[in-house]
Amino acid sequence: MSTLHARERLLTWLALMTLAILAWGYLIMHGLHMPMPMNESMGRASNLDLSLLGMATLMWSVMMVAMMLPSAGPMILTYLRINQQHERVGGAIPATWIFVSGYLAVWLAFAIAAAVMQWALHESALLSSSMGHVSSLLGGTLLMTAGVFQFSNLKQACLSKCRSPLSFLMTEWREGKTGALTMGIKHGAYCTGCCWALMLLMFVGGVMSLVWMAGLALYLLAEKLLPQAERISQISGGLLAGAGVIVLLSAAY
């Protein structure tokens, strides 16, 4: 049975990585050639174009899978291992993917909110049409917000949940497939609470910037997996806040 469990864990890990790679592949293949969902045509529209908003939602959704699924891997595999030990009815693999679905559902909600925010910024002439950069004033404000948030108790509380899969599962464990969905949603909520401010920096670096996506994804992975996460958050917070001040001062002068 242990051999079967090890094979299930390997297959699950490969499936997670394949899903993340496919998401990155979509962004690489289409990101540089696909026109911005909120481009000049939307600037001429007087009403919300649902098809363009749908394109933006799809883009943000794929971005969330590509950027966040790898860092959730340790939590997902820990859930699978515990479920295997308990030999739950319905099998460990189905329940694990229900857990993943709950996690991704929260990020899908964030993607929808980000797409609506993108449209609103464009309508307010605060977002460029080329790569999706915000104005210097708003960009500096977002940088400062993200920097200050790195020092907050909420940030550290959510980050501690993301960094301690076993502790999270032991305290939040729920039985069955409904429990798997509930735990996935809770983990997604903690993860979003930890990373939302950093994700909004996509508006600073460019919504369609693959380099910016990759940089943020690598940082989020490091913040969750490397030791001394609080120190990493504080250092990055200071750098982001300082960058925000510089951008705001340059905009003022």
User: Is 37 contained in some domain?
Assistant: no
Q: Is residue 156 part of a domain?
A: yes
Residue 41 lies in a domain: no
Question: Per the domain annotation, does 225 fall within a domain?
Answer: yes
pLDDT, mean of residues 18-39 = 75
Q: How many domains does the chain have?
A: 1
In a domain, residue 44? The reply is no
* Full domain range(s) for residue 92: 1-26+49-251
32 inside domain: no
% pLDDT > 90, the chain: 59
* Helices 50-86 & 2-31 angle (0-180, nearest 10): 170
**Does any domain span residue 34?**
no
Q: How confident is the model at residue 205 (pLDDT cuts 50, 70, 90)?
A: confident
Query: Is the predicted pLDDT of residue 154 greater than 70, yes or no?
Result: yes
Cβ(201)–Cβ(219) under 8 Å? no
Q: Based on C-alpha coordinates, what's the Rg of the chain?
A: 19
**Residue 251's pLDDT band (boundaries 50, 70, 90)?**
confident
d(CA 29, CA 63): 13
pTM score of the predicted model: 0.88
pLDDT digits (tens, 9 = 90+) for 168-196: 999 999 888 899 999 999 999 999 999 99
Q: Is residue 145 part of a domain?
A: yes
What tokens does 69 get? 């699924």
Rounded-to-integer distance, Cα 214 and Cα 67, Å? 8
Each residue of 76-135: pLDDT tens digit? 999 998 988 876 544 678 889 999 999 999 999 999 999 998 888 877 777 765 556 678
Q: Is 180 exposed, middle or buried (0-12, 13-18, 19+ CB in 10 A)?
A: buried
Whether the Cβ atoms of residue 213 and residue 66 lie closer than 8 Å to each other: yes
pLDDT of residue 238 exceeding 60: yes
* Main-chain dihedrals φ then ψ at residue 49, nearest 5 degrees: -90, 110
